[in-house]
Chains A and B, each alone.
Chain A
């Protein structure tokens, strides 16, 4: 290498140097300028390529101890993330099981609510059942006969009943009244129409047993007809009554 930079030279006049630089820098397309430009271009290209390579590559230029450190870092991060994953998974499972059990409890509560609403007569009920029509032209059918009919229907598994447009629930009462019967204070006159939801064949059979409701009504000079229907709608409603004295005792077994 015969680069001239190793030989010491006395510093020259500054103006002289600037002139030289200007002369060398003037755009003359001489061979030396072209060659120098090509080499400089290659240098610039190589610099950018190397800069980019350095910024892109991560591990190839690292020494062994640096690699070990990076590896340990990654290991630690991995363990940390694995712990995070497992704890998140555990809480996910917890939440899922909680949701499931809450849904279960809600479904059970809804079923309870539905059956209690039908029992208390605060919800419209529909289903298979019978229509019992009691005609009484002589006015001889008394309240106990109707009560018998209701009890028979209950025994036969009627789940919801109404007479006329009154719902029949646990505390419905019947008594005789002028021109008919009084149902929980509402006077009704014949014909009495009883709707009952339940197993329709069982209900119809219960009405027509010998000595049963139909026979009693006939004996009194009336006429009772039973119609089996696929879809009976018991749509008479009662207001919900909150017990004034009775308080539920919380169950302690669960």
Chain B
């Protein structure tokens, strides 16, 4: 409940402040957001599995974000930034789908 309120609060603050993304962050933010979403869905699934650990959630959240950003950074340096970004998004998308599928099985038994 409180994390959901936090999410809503973050969205509201974002809408109100109309933040401009700094230029150095622009290539990494979209991937970081996807990675964080993956961590959030993973966390919800862990709650339903009964193995949720706040430490694991925080670490996985932050490491997902950092690793995703690092991969994009590395891809940019190697000249394959666009392709690598696409690859990361695909992988994270697959993981989000599988997590959502697990959540669905838990909640609806289907």
Contacts and interface: CB of A to CB of B under 8 A. Distances in A.
A43 B37 contact: yes
Contact of B2 (A17, A27, A42): A27
**Interface secondary structure of B, over-half rule:** helix
B10 A42 contact: yes
Contacts of B42: 3-5
B29 A50 contact: yes
A107 to B, nearest CB: 61
B72 interface: no
Interface residues of B, number: 60
A14 interface: yes
Nearest to B5: A37
B100 to A, nearest CB: 10
Interface in A36-69: 36-50, 52-54, 56-57, 60, 63
User: Interface residue tally of chain A, by bracket?
Assistant: 35 or more
Contact of A44 (B10, B29, B82): B10
A57 B30 CA distance: 13
B78 interface: no
Given A20-B50, A21-B48, A36-B54, A48 B1 contact: no
Interface of A: 1-5, 9, 11-14, 17-18, 20-21, 24-50, 52-54, 56-57, 60, 63
